[in-house]
Amino acid sequence: MSRTFVIAALLVALAGPALADYDPKMEAEEAAQRKAAAAASAKRKADFDKQRSAEEAKVMRRELGKEAEGKSDAEVKRIFDAKYKAQMDSAKKAQAGGGAPGSDMAKGDAQTKAMTGKSMQELQNMSPAEQAAFAKQMEKQYGGAK
């Protein structure tokens, strides 16, 4: 029994200094300060996001011109996104060599294929060795530099 008493007394003696630094009033003040700082940070972020959205809407309206007149910001964003997507799709097709029929890119590709037997895409994907061999072939076929 004395062993249990000694251990309990030792635990109480060691717990005293650990709790001596605890001040509930100061802890509550610090918690309130942390909460106020978090609220201020959230407000700054919300203001920044609102300002950025307004600037983005201005840019979109400027790009769309008359098409954006009288429309809400959400409608302007939807229209702008649709136009941007269409432009990106068109650029991807053109880059892949599938330019719209009748476009300058398609005409150039057709002329190159008629003259060389290879499309622009095939020419771009050649290795340096293939390019050198192709250049020699074209020199023989069409005459070299004089």
Residue-wise pLDDT tens digits, 82-135? 888 888 887 777 666 555 556 677 788 888 888 888 888 888 888 888 888 888
pTM of the model: 0.42
- Three-class SS of residue 125? coil
- End-to-end CA gap in the chain: 114
Q: What is the DSSP string of 53-94?
A: HHHHHHHHHHHHGGGGTT--HHHHHHHHHHHHHHHHHHHHHH
Q: pLDDT digit string (tens) for 62-79?
A: 888 888 888 888 888 898
pLDDT band at 54 (very low <50, low <70, confident <90, very high): confident
In 3D space, the residue among 103, 99, 133, 139 whose CA is nearest the CA of residue 119 turns out to be 99
